[in-house]
Structure formats: C-alpha cells, structure tokens
Structure 1
Amino acid sequence: MAKVLVLYKKPKNAEAFDKHYASVHIPLAKKIPGLKKYDISTGGVGAPTGPSEVHLVATLYFDSMEALQAGLASSEGKAAAGDLANFADGGAELYFFDTKDV
C-alpha cells in the first residue's frame, strides 16, 4: 500500500483552517481517483517533547505507488493540491511512500 502523509503546520487562524478543510478540501481530496482510504488526526498533535507545530495530520491510502502518482496527476489531484494555497498558510509538508506489513 502506498501513502501520502501530509503534515499541516499551525495556521494563522485555526478556526478558518478547520472550516475550509472540512467543507472544501476533504470533499476535493475524496474525489482523487484510486484513493482507498483517507484519515486525519483529531485533537492536538504532540511530540515527545510536548506540543508540536503541526496542526493536523492527514493520511491518504492507495493500492500502489503507481496508483498514488496517477491519482495526484489527475485533474482531481491537481485541484486538491491547488486548494492548499487557500487555507494552509502555515505551510504543509507532503511525504509519499510505499508500505509493507511486518
């Protein structure tokens, strides 16, 4: 299974971020072809040293790296990526990787 991990940094306005994310970004992302599962963190995101600078963590699941790449390259994937500028003013880090069960 391939995954996209998105770490959204603390925004200037958390309430506005959360509202846009729930009402606009999630529906856009859920349209990405090949997306099998999509989950997000709830509550604060901590680190071993205490609170972190991360506001929200999102994980998107695909059957393979090829499916992930095709999904992100699709018009729906581009629309979701383009939406980041509309709400993620604290910045976002995206990571793509394949996984295996151990």
Structure 2
Amino acid sequence: MYRLINLYPTPDDPEEFKRYFVEVHLPLGANVPGAIRRGYAFAPDIQINGDIDCFCVFEADYESKEALLAALATPEAAAAGADVPNYSPKPARSLLYELTEI
C-alpha cells in the first residue's frame, strides 16, 4: 500500500479553513480516482511530538506507488491541487511512502 499525507499549518482563520475544506475541497478531492481509503483530522485531535505546526492532516491510501502517481497525474488531482490556496495560503507539507503493514 502507498500513502499520501498532507500536513496543513495553522491558518489565519481556522473556522473558515474547516468550512471550506469540508464543504468544498473534500468533495472536489473525492473526484481524484484510485484511493482505497481517505481520512482527515483537525487540531486539537492531532497529537504531534516536536516542533511541527499542523492544524489539519489528510491521508489517502492507494494500492501501489504507481496507482498514487497515476492519480496525481489526473485532471481531477490538478483541480484539487489548484484549489488549495483558496483555503490554505500557507503551503502544506506532503509525505508519500510505502506503508509496510504488520
């Protein structure tokens, strides 16, 4: 399984971030094909050890690295990516990695 994680920093307007993310961005991102699981969390439910500013975390799992990269190359992913500045002018950190299940 291959995982994408986006870590969003604390926005200037947390309530507007939440509203837009849930009502507009997530439905737009749902059009990106191939994910077998998606999920998110907002602070304060996020527990971070260390000096990382993280207000929101989004995760999506794919069957393989190839499936994730194919999904990211779609027009739907481009549209979702172009939407990010509408709710998060501060850039997110992204992680892509193979998840070894135990």
Q: Give SS of 2:11's match.
A: coil
* Unpaired runs of at least 5, structure 1: none
Cα distance in 1 between the residues matched to 2:47 and 2:101: 25
Structure 1 segments of 4 or more deviating over 4 A? none
**Map of 2:66 onto structure 1:** 66
Instruction: Work out whether 1:16 is the aligned partner of 2:16.
Output: yes
CA RMSD of aligned residues (A): 1.6
Structure 2 gaps, min length 5: none
Q: Which amino acid aligns with 1:46?
A: Q
Deviations 1:33-80 (CA, angstroms, capped at 9, x unpaired): 11111011144123235x952101110111111010010110111111
Per the normalisation by structure 2, the TM-score is 0.90
Equivalent in the alignment of 2:75: 75
- Cα drift, residue 26 of structure 1: 0.5
Q: Displacement of 1:30 after TM fit? A: 1.1
Q: Deviations over 1:5-39 (max 9, x none)?
A: 00000001001100110011101111111111101
> What are the equivalent positions in structure 2 for 1:1-102 lying under 5 Å apart?
1-44=1-44, 45-48=46-49, 53-102=53-102
Structure with more strand by fraction? 1
Q: Identity across aligned pairs (percent)? A: 26
